[in-house]
Amino acid sequence: MTLDVDPPEPPELAAVDPNEYEDAEVAGGEYRRDDLEAFLREGAWEEAFAEWAAGSDMDEEDWRIAVDLGLVSRFDFFWDDFADRVGYHAPGLPEDWKERDLHPDLDSWGTVSAINAGLTELGQIVCETLKEEYIDWEAEFEAPDDLPDFEA
């Protein structure tokens, strides 16, 4: 399935400690957000968005709701030096979406699930694009010398 929409502007990355997210655990304190934000603006965002949209299960209505709610601007990307990867936090709709009456066209768990899953997939593709095609630095973390040798 293809989602035929224009890519939004890349998110501005805030100075949030990624360990505050429920879905992230990051060692270190240099998250390189300025570098990542520059890469997003230089084309990584559009490239990843195009790849994601070409295979997304979200439809135009789901996407419009996500955009109306400003979810895309709440993405966060950060460098995880310990894991030598780009980490991310994808925005999503809360479990109490119905009680909060977040959007007039948000009326089913299927739509909520499609939006949350779609944004998670977009975040993952952005991370992969950044790591594979834009980042040229190496992780600075060096494992201690006293780690056990697990070779068989």
CA distances from 101 to 11, 30, 60, 81, 88 (A): 25, 38, 20, 40, 27
pLDDT at 151: 62
Q: What is the pLDDT of residue 146?
A: 55
Residue 23 has pLDDT above 80, yes or no: no
pLDDT at 58 over 80: yes
Side-chain-facing half-sphere of 22: CA atoms under 13 Å: 3
pTM: 0.83
- For residues 69 and 103, is the Cβ–Cβ distance under 8 A? yes
User: Mean pLDDT for the chain?
Assistant: 85
CA-CA distance, 110 to 13, in Å (whole number)? Answer: 29
Give the residue among 10, 7, 51, 44 at the shortest CA–CA distance from 134.
44
Task: Count the Cβ atoms, other than its own, within 10 Å of residue 80.
Answer: 21
For the chain, the structural domain boundaries read: 32-134
pLDDT-derived band at 50, boundaries 50, 70, 90? very high
pLDDT, average across residues 67-78: 93
Least confident piece of the model among 22-31, 74-83, 134-143: 22-31
